[in-house]
C-alpha cells in the first residue's frame, strides 16, 4: 500500500538528509508504528506519504514514494486526499470551519460525497470518538484533547485507505486515548485501513502495532514485522519494555497483561525485600512550606458552561503538582487563571500576594511563567539563539543563560535554526527554557511532554525536581501518568468542574488503574511506580536482578 523506493530527503537549508536511502513497504491493513528520538525526522517521514514534503514544506526529494500506485511526485496532496488522511501534531492548524460538526463534514464535501452518506458518517464518527456532546461547539472553545479527537474524526469520515497520524494521543486523557485507539483498531481490522502512526507515548500503542518502523539519529529507516523483536534494540521504549529488558524477560512483553505473567518471580522477590526491611525512622519534622499561590472560591463560566465551580486550592514552594482530569475538565483554564491571562467569574487568585492579572514586565516573568499547550504561540524570532537572547534580556539574565538551559533539554539542535523548522517536541523544549530560565516563583506547564521521547522526559523530570528543591512551585497539567510518577509530589484531579482528589502523587497514582503508570500496574499491589525505584530496591538485595540480563 505504501512504498518507499531509495528515498532520500533534505530541506533546502540543511546539508544533511533527514532520511537517507529508505526502502520501505507497508502492506494493506497494517498498523505500522514509527519510533525514534525527538527530532529524528518522524514527522518528515509521515509528510512524505501524502506529498506534503516536498510540495508544501520544500526540500529535495530523491527516489519514489507511492501510495496505492500513485506517486507523490505526480500527485500533489490535494489529489491524494481521497486516499490518504493526515492528522498532524498541531491539529488546530488544519481546521477550516468553526463548528465541530462542520469540520467533520468538510473533507467529505470537498470530495463530493453524497449528502445522505455524509450525514451517516458524521453520526458514526461522533459516536466512535466520543464527540456527540460537542457536535455544536465552536472549535475555539475546545480543549487541546478535544481538538485532537475532532481532527482525527475529520479525516476518518472520508474513509481513506491510508491514515497517517502524528502523535494522535499526545493530548488525550487515558480513557479518550483508549477510545481513539479502539476506533483505529476497528478501521484496521474491519475495513483493511492502513495506518502509519508516530507516537512518543509508546506505552499506549505498541501492543496494537503490527510492525515497527525505526528511525535512527542518522536518518536510517527500517521496518520489523515483529514488534517485540523490534523493541529489543529500539532507540526508545515504553516502561513495560524497559522493565522487561532490565529483568531479562524473553520475549519482551508489550502489554501489561504479558508483563504481569513474566513478573511473578520479581513480585515475590520484591515483596520479600519489603517485608525484610526494618521499619524506617520517622522523618524529622520540616517547617511548613511557604505558600506561593492561593485560589479561593474561584468559579469560571464560559458560553453558559460551568468550567470551574468554587475551587479552593493552595500550592507551596517546593511542590511539583500534577493537574489531572479528562479532556475539557478545565485544566488549561486553571493554569491561565494563575498566569493572569484569564480572569475568574467569581473568587480570588493570589500569586506571591499579587493578583496575577495586574503583573507586567520583569515582575510578571519572575513571579509566574506559563508554558502553553501550543508553544509556537510564544515564538517570534528568526532563530533559536535570538529567542534565547531576548528572554535573557527580558528577565535581566546574563547572556547565554536561556540558551544553556535549552541545550540541556536538547543538546543536538543548531541554535541558528528557525523555530518553525524545529520538531514539535523541540519547540516545546525551547519554550520551556524561555520560561523556566527566569526562575519564576510559580512555573505552569500545559502538557509539557507532547512530542518528547523518554530520554527527553527524563531530562525534564530532573529539571522540575531541581526547580522544586530551589524553592519554586511547579504545576503540570498533564495526561502523562509516567511523568506524574517520576516527577510529581502531589496530584490535583479535576472532575465535574471541581477538585475531586488532592493527594500525594504516590497514593494518587495507584488509586485508579486509569492513572497508574505501567510499572505500578505490573507490580501491583507493591508500591513501585517507576523502573528507577525497582532498580534501587535491587541494588540493596543480591537476590534481585541488577543488570537486567544484559
Q: 328 and 376: one domain?
A: yes
- 74 in the same domain as 220: yes
pLDDT in tens, 287-299: 567 999 999 999 9
Q: Which of 194, 217, 236 finishes a domain?
A: 236
Cβ atoms of 48 and 59 closer than 8 Å: no
Please tell me the predicted confidence (pLDDT) of residue 549: 43
Q: Parallel, antiparallel, or unpaired: how do β-strands 291-302 and 84-87 relate?
A: unpaired
Q: Which of 33, 34, 36, 68 is nearest to 50 (CA)?
A: 68
Residues 424 and 454 in one domain: yes
**Which strand (E) or helix (H) includes residue 482?**
helix 481-487
Q: What is the pLDDT of residues 297-307, one digit of tens each?
A: 999 998 788 99
What does the block give as the cell for 360?
A: 507586567
Do 76 and 224 lie in one domain? The reply is yes
User: What is the distance between the alpha carbons of residues 423 and 505, in angstroms, rounded to a whole number?
Assistant: 31
Do 245 and 338 share a domain, yes or no? no
The torsion angles phi and psi of 490, rounded to 5 degrees, stand at -150, 150
Q: Please report the pLDDT score of residue 13 as a whole number.
A: 73
Which H or E element spans position 368? strand 368-371
Q: From its phi and psi, is residue 222 left (phi > 0), alpha (psi between -120 and 50) or beta? A: beta
pLDDT at 414 over 70: yes
Q: Are residue 253 and residue 304 in the same domain, yes or no?
A: no
Q: What is the pLDDT of residues 146-178, one digit of tens each?
A: 888 899 899 989 889 999 999 888 878 888 888
Q: How large a percentage of the chain has pLDDT more than 90?
A: 68
Residue 537 pLDDT > 90: no
Do 523 and 510 sit in the same domain of this protein?
no
Q: Coil, helix or strand for 357?
A: helix
Which residue among 236, 259, 277 closes a domain?
A: 236
400 and 253: one domain?
A: no
Domain span at residue 270 reads: 238-287+517-550
Instruction: Report the residue count for the chain.
Output: 550
**Residue 484 near residue 410 (C-beta atoms within 8 A):** no
- Do 57 and 200 belong together in one domain? yes
Inter-residue contact 33 to 206 (CB < 8 Å) = yes
Q: Give the separation between CA 443 and CA 450, rounded to whole angstroms.
A: 17
Dihedral of CA 165/167/172/175: which sign?
A: positive
Q: What is the pLDDT of residues 184-217, one digit of tens each?
A: 898 899 889 999 999 999 999 999 999 999 999 8
Domain count, the chain: 3
User: CATH number, domain at 175?
Assistant: 3.40.50.300
Q: Are 196 and 147 in contact (CB under 8 A)?
A: no
pLDDT in tens, 442-456: 999 999 998 888 988
pLDDT level of residue 550 (50, 70, 90 thresholds): very low
Q: Are residues 311 and 404 in the same domain?
A: yes
Across 282-300, b (16+ Cβ under 10 Å) vs e yields eeeeeeeeeebbbbeebbb
Are residues 145 and 266 part of one domain? no
Same domain (yes/no): 50, 181: yes
Amino acid at each position: 500500500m505504501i512504498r518507499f523506493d531509495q528515498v532520500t530527503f533534505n530541506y533546502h537549508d540543511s546539508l544533511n538528509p533527514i532520511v537517507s536511502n529508505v526502502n520501505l513497504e507497508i502492506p494493506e491493513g497494517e498498523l505500522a508504528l514509527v519510533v525514534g528520538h525527538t527530532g529524528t525526522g518522524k514527522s518528515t517521514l509521515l509528510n512524505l506519504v501524502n506529498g506534503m514534503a516536498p510540495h508544501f514544506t520544500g526540500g529535495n526529494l530523491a527516489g519514489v514514494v507511492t501510495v496505492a500506485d500513485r506517486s507523490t511526485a505526480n500527485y500533489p496532496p490535494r489529489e491524494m486526499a481521497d486516499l490518504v488522511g493526515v492528522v498532524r501534531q498541531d491539529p488546530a492548524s488544519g481546521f477550516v470551519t468553526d463548528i465541530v460538526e462542520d469540520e467533520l463534514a468538510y473533507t467529505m464535501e470537498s470530495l463530493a460525497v453524497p449528502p445522505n452518506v455524509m450525514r451517516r458518517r458524521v453520526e458514526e464518527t461522533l459516536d466512535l470518538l466520543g464527540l456527540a456532546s460537542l457536535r455544536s461547539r465552536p472549535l475555539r472553545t475546545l480543549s487541546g484533547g478535544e481538538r485532537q479527537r475532532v481532527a482525527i474524526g475529520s479525516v476518518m469520515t472520508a474513509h481513506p485507505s491510508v491514515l497517517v497520524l502524528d502523535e494522535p494521543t499526545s493530548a488525550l486523557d487515558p480513557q479518550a486515548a483508549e477510545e481513539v485507539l479502539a476506533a483505529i483498531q476497528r478501521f484496521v481490522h474491519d475495513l483493511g485501513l492502513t495506518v502509519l502512526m508516530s507516537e512518543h507515548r509508546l506505552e499506549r500503542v505498541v501492543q496494537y502495532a503490527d510492525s515497527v518502523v525505526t528511525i535512527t539519529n542518522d536518518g536510517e529507516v527500517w521496518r520489523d514485522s515483529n514488534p517485540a523483536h523490534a523493541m529489543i534494540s529500539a532507540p526508545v521504549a515504553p516502561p513495560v519494555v524497559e522493565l522487561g529488558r532490565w529483568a531479562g524477560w524473553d520475549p519482551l512483553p508489550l502489554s501489561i497483561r504479558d508483563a504481569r505473567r513474566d513478573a511473578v518471580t520479581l513480585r515475590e522477590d520484591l515483596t520479600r525485600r519489603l517485608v525484610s526491611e526494618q521499619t524506617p525512622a520517622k522523618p524529622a519534622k520540616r517547617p511548613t512550606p511557604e505558600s506561593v499561590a492561593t485560589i479561593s472560591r474561584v468559579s469560571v463560566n464560559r458560553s453558559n458552561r460551568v468550567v470551574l465551580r468554587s475551587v479552593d486550592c493552595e500550592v507551596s514552594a517546593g511542590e511539583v503538582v500534577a493537574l489531572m482530569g479528562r479532556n475539557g475538565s478545565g485544566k488549561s483554564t486553571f493554569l491561565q487563571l494563575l498566569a493572569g491571562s484569564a480572569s475568574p467569574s467569581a473568587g480570588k487568585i493570589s500569586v506571591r500576594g499579587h493578583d496575577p492579572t495586574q503583573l507586567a514586565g520583569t515582575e510578571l516573568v519572575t513571579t509566574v511563567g506559563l508554558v502553553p499547550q501550543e508553544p509556537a504561540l510564544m515564538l517570534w524570532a528568526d532563530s533559536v539563539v535570538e529567542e534565547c537572547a531576548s528572554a535573557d534580556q527580558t528577565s535581566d539574565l546574563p547572556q547565554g543563560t536561556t540558551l544553556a538551559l535549552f541545550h540541556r533539554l536538547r543538546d543536538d539542535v543548531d541554535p541558528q535554526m528557525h523555530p518553525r523548522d524545529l520538531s514539535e517536541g523541540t519547540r516545546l523544549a525551547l519554550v520551556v527554557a524561555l520560561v523556566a530560565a527566569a526562575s519564576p516563583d510559580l512555573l505552569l506547564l500545559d502538557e509539557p511532554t507532547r512530542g518528547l521521547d523518554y530520554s527527553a522526559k527524563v531530562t525534564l523530570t530532573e529539571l522540575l525536581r531541581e526547580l522544586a528543591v530551589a524553592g519554586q512551585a511547579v504545576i503540570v497539567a498533564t495526561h502523562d501518568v509516567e511523568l506524574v510518577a517520576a516527577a510529581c509530589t502531589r496530584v490535583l484531579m479535576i472532575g465535574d468542574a471541581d477538585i475531586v482528589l488532592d493527594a500525594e502523587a504516590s497514593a494518587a497514582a495507584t488509586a485508579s488503574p486509569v492513572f497508574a503508570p505501567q510499572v505500578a500496574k505490573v507490580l501491583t499491589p507493591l508500591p513501585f511506580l517507576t523502573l528507577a525505584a525497582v532498580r534501587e530496591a535491587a541494588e540493596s538485595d543480591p537476590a534481585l536482578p541488577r543488570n537486567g540480563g544484559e
